Amino acid sequence: MKLFDVYPLYDIAITRASGAYVWDGNGVQYLDMYGGHAVISIGHTHPHWVKRIEDQLEKIAFYSNSVHLPIQQQLADKLGAVSGKNDYQLFLCNSGAEANENALKLASFHTGRKKIVAFSKSFHGRTSLAVAATDNPAIVAPVNETNNVAFLPFNDVAALEQYFAANGHSIAAVIVEGIQGVGGIQIASEAFLQCIRQQCDQYNALFIADSVQCGYGRSGKFFSHDYANVQADIYTMAKGMGNGFPVAGMLIAPHIPAKHGMLGTTFGGNPLACAAALAVLEVIEQDNLIEMAKQRGMYIMNKLKEFPELSNVRGRGLMIGFDVPENLKSLRKTLIFDYKIFTGEAKPNTIRLLPSLALTRKQADEFLETLREAIDAVKAEASNQVSVKP
């Protein structure tokens, strides 16, 4: 049987991982500056995370949500304490798309409305509503198409106010990433997020803070939206939440009531997932990883700004992007294959960095020094190609 061929794959088979490094089947070591799309928040196979899962596996791996599972409340308590959202309610599920899908559905239930406001270059997932609110027609199937989603320019306060003035009483929710990931590490301005809060309050719509990639401490605050000093009605979480174990959730403001049967999940909140998520929060808290991400990110960005070849260095914490010129378009592949460093990308010319929040100064310097070598190598190769042309 063949695997369904939907991913363009590099010819590398990763078989082992630890901390900020991964190894292929030949034993070659790679520095992981991408963390599998910002999933690895505390480092690969962190010993506390492994032990938490192993201990839970010996007790109970799964039972349905028709009974009390005490570890769910333990996770809710720890999440409230670390995030500072103690008065919120927790709904657990399995993936970021599922979290956003349920958030949009809950907003429609709560308001009795259908219209959703999303933004240019947004990415919220691949399930029906989440993909309809994603600004990429190539991944929206005909069955997903709807007139209920309006896309507005990102960070455009005037456009947002104008749209609400004309349509406010039909809007169920605004969904926005605090830092767009797939969109190329674009940071939502504080004024923009504050405007969303004000407009949602004025028209009784819900503010959904998509924190699937930019949350869980990656930005230097637990939720990147917190930089604007506003409270969202719903926060969605996933990637960094389980450090590789599938787990996701929503934090739901106390003014939004629950009703039996309105949401549901089979595997969401299973004991193994909760154990993994608890381990992540315990390590984040114990090792002060949110502040570490903030400081390490500032260090890396300041150093990147010294590279004359790179432009528009941006980000918060360890969610960093920079643009490369056309003559360096092969830089990412060169980093992977010749210098054994994984990074991410965003079209057309952005390299994304999303490493573990536990990245050390030594590992940051390793990346920066190797990046300098890789840039010089790509420039030399391009120069050689020009010189041999007839």
**pLDDT tens profile 214-230:** 999 999 999 999 999 99
Per-residue pLDDT of 188-209, as tens digits, reads 999 999 999 999 999 999 999 9
CB atoms within 10 A of CB 357: 32
Note the pLDDT of residue 384: 74
pLDDT tens-digit profile of 240-270? 999 999 999 999 999 999 999 999 999 999 9
User: 79-122 pLDDT, tens per residue?
Assistant: 999 999 999 999 999 999 999 999 999 999 999 999 999 999 99
Contact 118, 134 (CB under 8 A): yes
pLDDT in tens, 297-332: 999 999 999 999 999 999 999 999 999 999 999 999
Query: Does residue 47 register a pLDDT over 90?
Result: yes
Query: What one-character-per-residue DSSP string does 285-336 give?
Result: HHTTHHHHHHHHHHHHHHHHTT-TT-EEEEEETTEEEEE--GGGTTHHHHHH
Closest alpha carbon to 125 in 79, 94, 91: 94
Mean pLDDT of 55-63: 97
CA angle 178, 179, 184 (to 5 degrees): 155
Among 222, 227, 235, 276, smallest CA distance to 96 is for 235
- Buried b or exposed e, range 279-288, using 16+ CB within 10 angstroms: bbbbbbeebe
What pLDDT digit, counting tens, does each position of 344-387 carry?
999 899 999 999 999 999 999 999 999 999 999 999 987 776 55
Round the CA-based radius of gyration of the chain to a whole number and report it. 21
pLDDT at 386: 59
The per-residue pLDDT for 71 is 98
pLDDT at 382 (0 to 100) = 75
This prediction's pTM: 0.97
Q: Look up tokens 């300041």; give the residue.
A: 302
